[in-house]
Amino acid sequence: MTVTPFLDLVLAMNPGISFGWFQSETPAAQILLMVIKAAAVIALAIWMARSRTWLATVSLGLIIGGGTAQIQKNIIAERGLGMPREPKLAVA
């Protein structure tokens, strides 16, 4: 949708890491991806604990918060409320 001559609004789907890596519904692939995600959060938390500047600490906290909020949203929406999973994009 064109808002102004220099601004368009476009719907874009962010497939995230789950669609880029291990595009499989097998339990082994899902567990492997979960382990990688957990390791990333732990690494960021250690980095945040060791950071010496306020800006780095806040930035890393926001990254961790954003990632865990997305995970919580998916768990609550799909499992708690019974909503359908987000659609997978067709890979060409």
CA distance 62 to 48: 10
Residue bearing the bigger pLDDT, 26 or 21? 26
Identity of the highest mean pLDDT range in 22-31, 61-70, 78-87: 61-70
Q: What's the chain's average pLDDT?
A: 77
User: 30-69: per-residue pLDDT in tens?
Assistant: 778 778 878 888 998 899 999 999 999 999 888 888 777 7
Taking residue 38's Cβ as centre, other Cβ atoms within 10 Å add up to 10
Q: Please state, for a pLDDT cut of 90, what percent of the chain lies above it.
A: 15
